[in-house]
Structure 1
Amino acid sequence: MAIKARILERVDSVTSDTGATSGDELTSMKRRLSRQLSKSVDKPAEKKEKQVKKPTKVDRLTEEEKAETGKVALAVFGDYFKAIGIIATAAFFGLFAIYQGVNVYSSIWLSQWTADPLLQNTSLSGTSEYSRRNDKYLGVYGGLGAAQALLILCYALIASTRMVEASGLLHSSMLTNIMRSPMNFFDTTPSGRILNRFSRDVETIDNTIPAQFRSWMSTFFGTVSTVIVISYSTPIFMVVILPLGILYYLIQRFYIPTSRQLKRIESTTRSPIYTHFSETITGAGSIRAYKATDRFILESEAKVDKNLKYYFGGIASNRWLAVRLEFLGNLLVLSAAMFAVVSENVNQSLVGLSVSYALQITGGLNWLVRMTTDLETNIVSVERVKEYMETPTEAAWINPFKRPIPSWPAQGSVSFIDYKMRYRDGQEPVLKGINCSIEGGEKIGIVGRTGAGKSSMTVSLFRLIEALSGSIIIDGTTISDIGLHDLRSRITILPQDPVLFSGSLRMNLDPFDTYDDSTIWRALEHAHLKAFAESTPGQLQYQCGEGGQNLSVGQRQLVCLARSLLRKTRILVLDEATAAVDMETDDLIQATIRSQFSDCTVLTIAHRLNTIMDYDRIMVLANGEIKELDTPKALLENKSSMFYSMAKDANLV
């Protein structure tokens, strides 16, 4: 009953806002609505449950963004190292290990230098033996320093260059895969998810991972060398380092899964922010018109807050780790100092080296655990990029074994043979056994109600969606046998929404710079755009804005028409090309098509029936099937035909 009351309150508020409903009308409306609500609210719960259809996975167009769980697979690290190069990876690992070994040995050499009994006797400072011994230590120490500089330089050059190239390779592989993804991938994937991969995740691979990788190597080899030096100087220290090492490992194993999963969730909750922001910018005009600005601001803030919750959780878990690691590190320093004091017959210089290294191990071990954690956390970006590197792609762009001849299609005949198609797995077919034969040069008008399958036929012709069964044959060639570029470059489509890019008018007409200026001007003249182009600054070099925003919709459609005239393939598809333009522009486009494409096969999805009345045949689609296919005259003479009823509704008969 509470639901019923809220609905009635909503009716009150809506009708009172409009002010167009009289009191009697409002009362009768509320009475009828109240009776309907009472019937529905008072039904047994069992019946209501039967009426509610739970959405299945197939019913949902867009799925929740996938977030991996558990430990990052070794294959992810393997892919990153493959991108770097196996030889390069082995080289900078080896160089850094040698560098760290030389660094440790230089410290030991320095302790031996200071502990040399001959050099400690200052009374011999003027003798040749004293000078020779001193020069020997100095020369070796200087040589060790030079070796360290050379090793770290080689390591830095290899690591820096190869990691940048690895990031570029991963980005290029993901971009190539995305550009070859089928259309249903973009239909079911919000742009914010793709943008997130190409922005934040690639930025992490570009900048964060290389820095963390170098820092991890430095701390790892530094910590190992520190433990070796302390154990070498005071072997009893091993009694403490082993249990403390186990504690370090346990803390790390407890912390890493939490931090890693927080990073994954934080990454997935960032995508809706990009998607919502992009949608808001695109629909800013509508949002202001409906005064929904505050709602969109609140939605944006809610998405940002949700993302920051997980970001803050990552920072808080990092502080949790720091407190515990500092405590264990201080225990190590205490142990090293105590063992150095209580041990007997120990070299004083080695004791000093041991204690100085012990003071470094606190920060070293803390940093090692943190770097290991951060590295595994941020390698998630490689995991996410790898996911989009492995999404399903379209068929091969070029099939070298079945390439059509350059003049194909010469006739422009098109045959659909028991053709079935669906947009995604698990859905019902949208085309259910299409069978028709279109002769070369024939003009076919395609009509039907919304959802009849008209646009699906053109989608199938370009293989934007692959066939479920059946085939399409153009001039004797089955289109599924040839490459997508060979197919799509031989068919021209004039879409309902004109597509223009930011750049010059000439680039939009001839993006591959195939035609000379005179041919382009002739195409513009046939498209009724020559006068406009001549009046613009720069003429053919006139800069079109993003999506052609500085041109009217009609002008954009005429630019697309001029582009089609330049290509002039034997098959032209018009997918409601004049639906968004005025009648005058529609007449111009239709006149140009009739004159310039008179010898071509034209398939027109009609928005206005009067534009296809002079076509050779009319194809009427309904529920994914061809219901009628005949000349306009024959269909109009049959008053029981679907086309006749459509023409009657359009006041054409």
Structure 2
Amino acid sequence: MNLFWINRVVVMGHRGPLQLSDLCKLYNEESVHTLCSVFEHEWEKQQNYNERLDLEEDSGRESLLVSRKTNTGCSLLYAIWVTFRPALVKVALLRLSTDIFSILVPLTLRWVILFCERQAVFDWAGHTHSLVVLGAVCCCAVSQHHFEKCSRIITANAQAVLAGFLYRKTLPFSHSSRQQSNTTQGTDIFREVENVTELVVTLACLWSTPLRVALCLGLLWRELGPGVLVGVALLLVLIPVNSAVEHKAKQLQRTQLIIRERSEQLIKEMLHKYQALKFLTWESWFHQRVTESRAGELEMLRILGYLTAFSMLNSICMPFLVGFSSIGVFVLVDDGNVLTPSQIFTSLCFFRLLRPPLLELPGLWRVLKQTQQSLCHLEKIFLRKDLGTTQFVTTKEELPSDGIQQPCDRCKDKHSHSDEKSDHYLSQKGSGKAFRLYLRAFGWHWVSVSSLVYLSVCAVSLAQDGVLSVWTGEAKEVQGLEGWRELRNSRLSAYALLGLLQAFFVCCAAYCLTCTSLRASHTLHSKLLSDVLHIPVHSQKTDMRRLLQAFTQDMQVIDEELPKHLHSWLKSLLDILSTITLISFIMPVFSLAICPLIILFLRIQSRFSSAHSHIRHMEANPAASLECVTQCVEALLSGPKHREVCLTHCLQALNQNLLVKYNKIHTESRAALWLDGIAGIVLFLVSLILLETEPDSGLVVLTLICAFNIKEALHRYPQAVSEISMDMLCMQNLCEIAQLEREAAWRNSYRPPNDWPQHGEVKFRNYDSEASSNGTPALRGINLTILKGEKIGVVSRGKTDTDGLVSSLFRSVEARSGAVLIDDVNIARMGLHDLRSCLQIISQVPVLFSGSLRANLDPFAQHTDTQVWLALELCHLKEHVRLLPAQLLHPVQRTSLAFSFGQRRLLCLARALLARVRIMLVEEALPCVDLETDDLVRQLIHTEFKDCTVLWLTQNPLTVMHTDRVLVLNKGQAVNFDAPSTLLQQGPLFIQ
């Protein structure tokens, strides 16, 4: 991919949404097919070589592919190494050059400090020093970004190769053999693939870590002598502490995952049984259950938030502590050790370079061990014999014309939803509204307090560097040993005090971040739950997938990711502003360059962020993801032709993923290089101005430290902005759910009498209903009266007509004209809970909720245990419940086998017995309900509900011959309404 095409993608992404056809194309040697062919050739060579070795060792031994007892993973690792050997050698050389240039940059800046101390007059040598600084920074940036880009490309290529070869090995197996195999699930296998591919680059650069540590320690020893060992020892002591904190965090995250899964199951149950929940008016019960489960999630997040304080202390305060201990020991062990500006700057820079590799070393062995297991497992899969494997398709013309791009329906749904989110992402207005909504949930006063605390952290950090610079400047003017000791003690005490103050403010920042993010999460979740419970039944059915995503994926992002990204954004913004302000204060002439630099920075961010966001969206597109490919593998795994099509689909999806990753990597690398260019310009201008103005050497150190540290903030800020923009998609989803149609109020000013309804008389007066969005037809011109205590059979050709009647009585759809009267009271006047609490329905599919058996019968504990047992006795369930271990407290699970389908229907009838309503609707039972249970239900309704108005809903006329009258519905209209015997004589419509 050349520079022209990358710039073209950036420009097109800035102008509008990017399509797959707009991305830079892969060269032929970069395609998945080519890479897989090369890897397969190397793998076969390796296996043939191993087979020959085995035959030489033991001629009677079976082939390696069948009988090899142990796998070390070396064969697979060697095949990957040979496949990507040129690129890996290039990465190793780039890593070496990066390490050298990263050490060279502080050394060049040290020369600038020494030049300012010793050179009295600015001449051509000063220009040379500034140009050397600029050259070193540019070389370091180019080398580092080429290294990172090549490393990521190799990782992406290796993932695509292993995934493609994995599909090629697993597709030929029959479905039964796949189920009998000992392999893990697809997601686990791909996680192992990621572990292996990351190890390939790690091994190529494994020697870099000790080299960097040795170089940094040698240079630090030259500056501080034995005092450097104290700082290194402190870093080493903190390694087990960090490991313990990480281990505890992982334990808490596992516990949190269990709690989250329980909450997700509860949300799924609420959404899947939403109609029953609404008709029973049990919303408050489920609201309480979800809220209690959510409280457990938030409590785990609160505990994890406390560990955030340690993480922030480690990242912000640890550099200070290491530098303070080393510098303190250096100046205290010998009164002749006087700090110089060059020592201060060099020590701080090299401690900063030394810290990451030292902290990474302990976890390296654990990663190598885990990856070795992944290598062995993948090699075990790859060593299986091929059972009629298909060859890779070589040209596009050979691809089957149909069935290739036929992802499963689930993937299509995800793809359409992903496209909707993409369109919403393009709306900056919607993103801004979502951001304001989150800040409002955050609390504006907490926003102000958090900003002030973060500003204090930033100010204290600058003050620490200021104390060191002032100390070195004053040290040159001190006369005598006593004066030096007094200055040393006072400045060292001030430096330590600032460290304690910094730790205090960091803890305050962590506390604010944890408390406010939890407050926002609680507020948003409560509002979301309330909004969802007020959605009409027909709207909830159409938006169920979207609602489930809001409660699970979106809320997880809001809980965990968004606070981290806001922290990174605010800290980087304040670091940039404070650095620019301090440099401008020390060197006022630098303020002339601030506006051009800011304009350049914003222009780079704007251009690259748009393209980067579109590419990230394409990368996250579920229709082309490996998850969807795996689902299609399972769906199409029947017959050689389907396997060929499925393999081709896999390769195309992998190639598309690789194409998107390539463009993402190149775009991010180009943006990072531009940002490093801005940081280099800042360093060049600062060094040039310092050499021109000849300031105090202490101010030189302070300015160079600020200019040197701005690079990291310049990188963090655009990344944080991009992440927050993606997170705002989740907030936009919550905003859209809040704007969905809402059902009528649960309670309103009109309240029916307490004894309403006394008779249960139902009248339809010229009733027309609204058509619902889920396909239920509207009722038209219904004009009839159902007398009190009547047993009415409602017959229709399809279930949609009876569903329309149920929706009208329960007001899940509203009347367009006319009215429904119950005991001469218009049901449209009252609240939904007042209406629905006086109705009961025995659904065709009996609905029981998770929880205790008693809660399923009486969730609000309005009846005594005696009354509950009496209802169970009437429904012939008392003896069965007594045999259960917990009896009434027996947990009713979704997959519980404690109750048959017929018994569940009887439990719903027991629930209706406890409610003692005057109007009840009964849908015909499914064929799986035995006739004895069905007869028992009919008998109980005739005996226990003899004073209740009952509507039997069915499509079979023969099941309602026992009723007083029969209502025949056809296409939303009442065709006949008379006694069953009369309707049998009138015509064939009723019989049909």
- Judge same fold: TM > 0.5, yes or no: yes
The counterpart of 2:547, out of the listed 194, 205, 208, is 194
2:513 matches 1:159: yes
**1:320–1:382 Cα change, 3 Å:** farther
Q: What SS does the aligned partner of 1:396 have?
A: coil
Distance change >3 Å, CA 288–CA 631, structure 1 → 2: farther
Structure 2 stretches lacking a partner, 5+ long? 1-411
CA contact (8 A) 2:744 2:831 kept: yes
Distance in 2 (alpha carbons) for counterparts of 1:606 and 1:528 = 25
Aligned to 1:225: 578
CA contact (8 A) 2:637 2:643 kept: no
Deviations 1:315-374 (A, max 9, x none): 654333223222332232233223323x13311111121122221122221222222222
> Aligned to 1:125, which of 481, 484, 488?
481
Tell me the residue number matched to 1:235. Answer: 588
Q: Deviations over 1:254-281 (max 9, x none)?
A: 122233344556667489999999x99x
User: TM-score if structure 1 supplies the norm length?
Assistant: 0.78
Partners in 1 of 2:658 and 2:866 — Cα distance? 58
Asked if the contact 1:215–1:371 (Cα under 8 Å) also holds between the matched residues in 2, the reply is yes
Preserved CA contact (<8 Å) 2:414 2:622: no
Match of 1:91 among 449, 452, 457: 449
Aligned equivalents of 2:699 and 2:443: distance in 1? Answer: 40
Match of 1:621 in 2: 969
CA–CA distance in 2 between the matches of 1:525 and 1:303?
62
Q: Which has the higher helix share?
A: 2
How much has 1:439 moved relative to structure 2?
1.3
Distance 1:527 1:300 in 2: 55
1:605 has 2:953 as partner: yes
Q: Is the 8 A contact 1:196 1:274 kept in 2?
A: no
Q: CA deviation at 1:528?
A: 2.3
Q: Which amino acid aligns with 2:448?
A: A
Question: Which of residues 708, 715, 730 is equivalent to 1:366?
Answer: 715
Q: Sort the Cα spacing of 1:121 and 1:376 in 2 relative to 1 into closer, same or farther, 3 A.
A: same
Return the offset for 1:536.
Answer: 3.3
1:492 shift after superposition? 0.7
Q: Do 1:445 and 1:605's aligned partners in 2 also have CA atoms closer than 8 Å?
A: yes
* 2:453 counterpart of 1:100: no
Task: Give 1:216 deviation, angstroms.
Answer: 1.5
Relative to structure 1, the CA distance from residue 146 to residue 373 in structure 2 (aligned partners, 3 Å threshold; closer, same or farther) is same
Q: Does the 8 A contact of 1:272 with 1:303 survive in 2?
A: no
Distance 2:589 2:436 in 1: 39
Which of the numbers 819, 827, 835 marks the counterpart of 1:471?
Answer: 819
Q: Aligned pair in 2 of structure 1 residues 99, 504: CA closer, same or farther (>3 Å)?
A: closer
Aligned residue among 752, 762, 787 for 1:414: 762
Report the equivalent of 2:782: 434
SS in 2 for 1:257: helix
Match of 1:633 in 2: 981
Does the 8 Å contact 1:412/1:600 carry over to 2?
A: yes
> Retained in 2: the 8 A contact 1:219–1:367?
yes
- How far is 1:78 from its partner? 1.0
Deviations 1:20-49 (A, max 9, x none): xxxxxxxxxxxxxxxxxxxxxxxxxxxxxx
- Aligned with residue 325 of structure 1, among 669, 672, 675: 675
In the comparison of the two structures, how many residue pairs are matched? 573
Cα offsets for 1:429-458 (capped at 9, x unmatched): 521121111111111111121166222101
Distance in 1 of aligned mates of 2:646 and 2:542:
25
Alignment-derived partner of residue 423 in structure 1: 771
Pick aligned residue for 1:150 from 494, 499, 504:
504
- Alpha carbon RMSD of aligned pairs, Å? 3.7
Higher mean alpha-carbon deviation, 581-590 vs 241-250, is at 241-250
Output the amino acid matched with 2:967: M
Match of 1:394 among 740, 743, 758: 743
**C-alpha displacement of 1:595:** 0.7
Question: Taking structure 1 as reference, are residues 213 and 578 closer, same or farther at Cα in structure 2, changes over 3 Å only?
Answer: closer
Instruction: Give the conservation status (yes or no) of the 8 Å contact 1:421–1:431.
Output: yes
Q: Please give the alpha-carbon distance, in whole angstroms, between the structure 2 residues aligned to 1:274 and 1:425.
A: 31
Q: Distance in 1 between matches of 2:800 and 2:658?
A: 46
Match of 2:368 in 1: none
Match of residue 521, structure 1, among 847, 850, 869: 869
Letter paired with 2:707: A
Q: Is the 8 A contact 2:776 2:800 kept in 1?
A: no
TM-score normalised by the chain length of structure 2 = 0.53
* CA distance in structure 2 between the aligned counterparts of 1:74 and 1:394, rounded to whole angstroms: 28
Amino acid in the other structure paired with 1:114:
T
Whether the aligned pair in 1 keeps the contact of 2:460 and 2:498 (CA below 8 Å) is yes
Q: 1:377 maps to what in 2?
A: 726
SS, match of residue 833 in structure 2: helix
1:531 to 1:315, Cα distance in 2 relative to 1, 3 A: farther
- Determine the C-alpha separation between the residues in 2 that align with 1:303 and 1:571: 59
Does the C-alpha gap of structure 1 residues 488 and 297 become closer, same or farther in structure 2, counting only changes over 3 Å?
farther
Match of 2:79 in 1: none
Task: Give the letter for the 2:940 counterpart.
Answer: T
Per-residue CA deviation, residues 135-174 of structure 1 (Å, 9 max, x unaligned), is 6655655554444343333333222201111012112211
Quick check: 1:173 aligned with 2:521?
no
Distance 1:294 1:326, change over 3 A: same
Aligned AA (1:231): S
Partner of 1:185: 539
Q: Is the 8 A contact 1:241 1:332 kept in 2?
A: no
Contact 1:441 1:602 in 2 (8 A): yes
Secondary structure of 1:619's aligned partner: strand
Query: Which residues of 2 match residues 283-302 of structure 1 at below 5 A?
Result: none
User: Cα distance 1:430–1:542, how it changes in 2: closer, same or farther (>3 A)?
Assistant: same
Q: Does 1:588 align with 2:936?
A: yes
Question: Is this contact kept in 1: 2:629–2:653, CA < 8 A?
Answer: no
Which residue number corresponds to residue 29 of structure 1? Answer: none
Partner of 1:205: 558
Name 2:842's counterpart in structure 1: 494
d(CA) in 2 for partners of 1:113 and 1:292?
Answer: 79
Q: Does 1:404 align with 2:757?
A: no
The aligned amino acid for 2:582 is V
* 1:529 to 1:413, Cα distance in 2 relative to 1, 3 A: same
Using the TM superposition, name which of 141-150 and 610-619 deviates more. Answer: 141-150
- Counterpart code for 1:97: L
- Quote the Cα distance in structure 1 between the aligned partners of 2:831 and 2:638: 47
The change in CA–CA distance for 1:214 and 1:141 in structure 2 (over 3 A counts) is same
Q: State how far apart, in whole Å, the 2-side matches of 1:430 and 1:323 are.
A: 62
- Provide the rounded CA distance (Å) in 1 between the counterparts of 2:608 and 2:956: 65
Partner in structure 2 of residue 44 of structure 1: none
Amino acid at match of 1:582: D
> Distance in 2 between the 1:101 and 1:419 partners?
71
Find the aligned partners of 2:641 and 2:705 in 1 and give their Cα distance.
Answer: 65
Gaps of 5+ in 1: 1-59, 647-653
Shift of 1:295: 12
Which position in structure 1 is the counterpart of 2:805?
457
Q: Determine if the alignment matches structure 1 residue 546 to structure 2 residue 880.
A: no
Match of 2:989 in 1: 642
| Contact 1:196 1:271 survives alignment (8 Å) | no
Mean CA deviation greater in 202-211 or 572-581: 572-581
1:112 pairs, out of 452, 462, 470, with 470
Q: CA separation of 1:311/1:486 partners in 2, compared to 1, >3 Å: closer, same or farther? A: farther
Rounded to whole Å, the distance in 2 between the matches of 1:455 and 1:292 is 44
Q: Determine if contact 1:184/1:424 at 8 Å carries over to the other structure.
A: yes
Structure 2 SS opposite 1:379: helix
Indicate how the Cα distance of structure 1 residues 451 and 588 shifts in structure 2: closer, same or farther if over 3 A, else same: closer
